Amino acid sequence: MSIGTNDTILLEMSQIEFEKMIGEVLKLAREGDLLALSTTPLSHGSLVNDCFLLGEPISSDARGRAIQSLLAWAVERLRPIGEHSWLANAWRSYNILQAFYIKGTRASELAEQMAISEQTLYQSRPQAIASVAQILREETASPTDKQNRQRHALADRYATHTAEEQKLLRIVSVFTGSLPVSLLHDLHRKITNFNDDLLDPQASIHQLIGRNLLVGNEAGTEVALRPEMRAFLRTLLAPDERGQLHNAAAEHYLQQQEYLESARQLRVAGDYERAAQILIDYQRKLFDNLQIEELAEIVGEFQPTEVSLDVWARLKIVSGEIAEFSKEIDLALGEYQQALAAPDIQIKALAYYRRARAFERQNVGESLAHYGYAIQLVQDLIKSTSLIGNDTNANIQTGKQEELSNLLAEMHIGRAWIYIQMQPNSQKAAADLRSSEDLTDEHNRIAWADLHNAYGSFYENESNLEQATQHYRQAWLAANEMRDLARMTNTAHNLGGTLSEQGDFEQALHYLTQSLDLSSKSNNRQMEGLCHLSIGACHFWQDQFVDAIRDYHAARQIFEETGNHTLQLRAYFNLAEAYAELTDLPQARHYFEHGYSKAQTLKDEGSIRDFLTLAETYPTLMDSPSTDYLNDRQQQALLHIQTHGQITNRGYQELTQVSQKQAVRDLNEMIVLGVIERRGKGRSTHYVYGQ
């Protein structure tokens, strides 16, 4: 640790010199001679400098007061453990320093309290001074208690202000940043114990700004506390002040749409239920603002005993969505599992729905089971609700049914995506989409965008590109109207993709470029990569291979950075194909070999077939039979052929212990690679070395 010049001067003093200096400093502190204190060697050391707020101007008087605070800290370090005693020898040095030098007690009065003669008091004083000098010397050489030293300085500084000024400081300490002066006035009136309409704290505010404890803006409309004082001042809040001020701060931050800070203030005030509800109500906005880590931190602070069972379940759903965002699917499933115990049926249904979505990536069957139960719960809940009582109750009930209908429509769309993408079933997908359509109001533009985006994908799978385009346009318009960046990004990409498939490359690039720009602004790296792939494909089909390669490389780099292996393979495939069209054989082979090898490592059968088909289209990608691409089973089969001259499908199954279908796949790959040839027909079919 580096030591400042003034500290070096202090540490170069002999022990006797240092103790003499501290004795003089203690005498001046007792006398209250601040100017003289500011001229002592101790006044410019790091221990004194630590007493000041960052960047504030320092007067001689301020240095003198800082030395007094430092001495009070050092004396307090000498205090023995246990109950204070005037008579015990162990307390003698502390009592002399604290009473005589810090509090200014007269020697005769102190001697009487300690039950010793004044002569004994004077004889004991050098030992007390030596003890406190040792503490100051050690702290100068190796600081270990900076926080407590600063706390002593702040406490002494706070004590010099009027009760009115102290009250204002306590109020401002509750706020993490600046607050309007008008709000400070309001809060000051609320916690003042007497009613005086003429009471105006503005003069005290100016005084605190002048003393560098508050900072005001140029317009004089806002003030902020020097941050070094906040933690100390908050410890001084009385219980009634604490609850009142933290609640007021929570309301202020809620109005400013600073939802996390509002929830934090409510937690400090002990209103855990409302704090949790704010996080639940504004979760989507916090996600949109990318405040996910901060949200996770504060949600993790809640305990089951602090809130009701239903609110706890909602917090678990929030935690699950945070985990999903971080791609921690097992953690998300566990959080959603806890939410299933919610007494409220709607929350329970929501937990099943979120769990269904999380299971989509791991177990489609389990996902469908969760979707089915979630949908049934909501359907039953809708049936059980009916309009009762007066108009006010009727309005509430109508709103509840609308909320349930929207949730049910969302569930049907979620399940439809499974039947569109993961477990293709046109009939079931269409049924879910129709059910969602019956529940979705066109004026609910977000739901409308989701519905038509799903319909677009459905018709794209059905090869009805014209119908798909119409639905994607509806989805894009609705998302664009609501300025929902995530949905705008997805729908623009999907619309661009169908237009590209129909050969309308100009319009396709228009939408794909918009999607790329939106995904870049929202830092959606995976969508950025997908957009580059799709834009590259537009260029490829227009024989603009150089432009296509540029975008394919951009996509490859993104997928390698994000670790998306499936899309990496697609980028390698596209690059191999584009370079092959340019007859750049070294680059084409490089990406072919890299992609095909990775597909085998990942055991991605679909990608393996795609690469083998590509090799059939461009034979130069593998201009001679090679065994480098063969797996262990295929290598084993080659040795068998070398020994016996041939192998049959059944022989391959017995040799490698695989199914008949896997044997067909392995042998067909070897044929495409040119390693073996098929001979004979029917039962006489066998395989020999390729020519």
How does residue 412 score in pLDDT terms, banded at 50, 70 and 90? very high
- For residue 152, which of 210, 209, 79 has the smallest C-alpha distance? 79
The answer for residues whose C-beta is within 8 angstroms of residue 133's C-beta and 6 or more apart is 15, 18, 19, 22, 23
Which tokens is 671 given?
């044929």
Rg (CA), the chain: 38
> For 82-123, what is each residue's pLDDT tens digit?
999 999 999 999 999 999 999 999 999 999 999 999 999 999
What whole-number percentage of the chain has pLDDT above 90? 66
Provide the pLDDT for residue 388: 44
Provide the pLDDT for residue 397: 63
- 53-57, 315-319, 416-420, 516-520, range with the lowest pLDDT: 53-57
How does residue 181 score in pLDDT terms, banded at 50, 70 and 90? very high
The answer for residues whose C-beta is within 8 angstroms of residue 171's C-beta and 6 or more apart is 184, 187, 188, 191, 245
Provide the pLDDT for residue 199: 60
- For residue 451, which of 478, 469, 426, 422 has the smallest C-alpha distance? 478
Provide the pLDDT for residue 1: 42
- 86-100, 274-288, 632-646, range with the lowest pLDDT: 632-646
Provide the pLDDT for residue 389: 45
> For 524-543, what is each residue's pLDDT tens digit?
899 999 999 999 999 999 99
Chain position carrying tokens 């212990």:
657
Could you give the CA distance from residue 265 to residue 255 in angstroms, rounded to a whole number? Answer: 13
Provide the pLDDT for residue 627: 62
Q: Are 254 and 275 in contact (CB under 8 A)?
A: no
Judged on CB neighbours under 10 Å (0-12, 13-18, 19+), 682 is exposed
Average of per-residue pLDDT across 476-491: 92
Is pLDDT at 479 greater than 80 in this prediction? yes
Provide the pLDDT for residue 303: 95
Amino acid in position 62? A
How does residue 390 score in pLDDT terms, banded at 50, 70 and 90? very low
Which tokens is 118 given?
């004044």
Long-range contacts of 75-78 (CB under 8 A, 24+ apart): 75/101, 75/102, 75/132, 76/152, 77/135, 77/145, 78/128, 78/131, 78/132, 78/135
DSSP strand E in 534-665: where? none
- For residue 355, which of 315, 311, 312, 324 has the smallest C-alpha distance? 324
Provide the pLDDT for residue 465: 94
Could you give the CA distance from residue 222 to residue 243 in angstroms, rounded to a whole number? Answer: 23
CA 367 to chain centre: 27
Could you give the CA distance from residue 488 to residue 297 in angstroms, rounded to a whole number? Answer: 30
The answer for residues whose C-beta is within 8 angstroms of residue 198's C-beta and 6 or more apart is none
User: DSSP 3-state assignment of 679?
Assistant: strand
Provide the pLDDT for residue 396: 55
Provide the pLDDT for residue 682: 80
Average pLDDT in the chain: 90
Sheet holding 179-180, edge to edge: 179-180, 222-225, 214-216
CA atoms within 13 A on the CB side of 234: 16
- 188-197, 440-449, 459-468, range with the lowest pLDDT: 188-197
Average of per-residue pLDDT across 272-279: 96
CA atoms within 13 A on the CB side of 441: 7
Q: Are 620 and 610 in contact (CB under 8 A)?
A: no
Provide the pLDDT for residue 625: 54
**DSSP category for residue 682:** G
Could you give the CA distance from residue 555 to residue 526 in angstroms, rounded to a whole number? Answer: 9
The answer for residues whose C-beta is within 8 angstroms of residue 270's C-beta and 6 or more apart is 243
- 330-339, 345-354, 591-600, range with the lowest pLDDT: 591-600
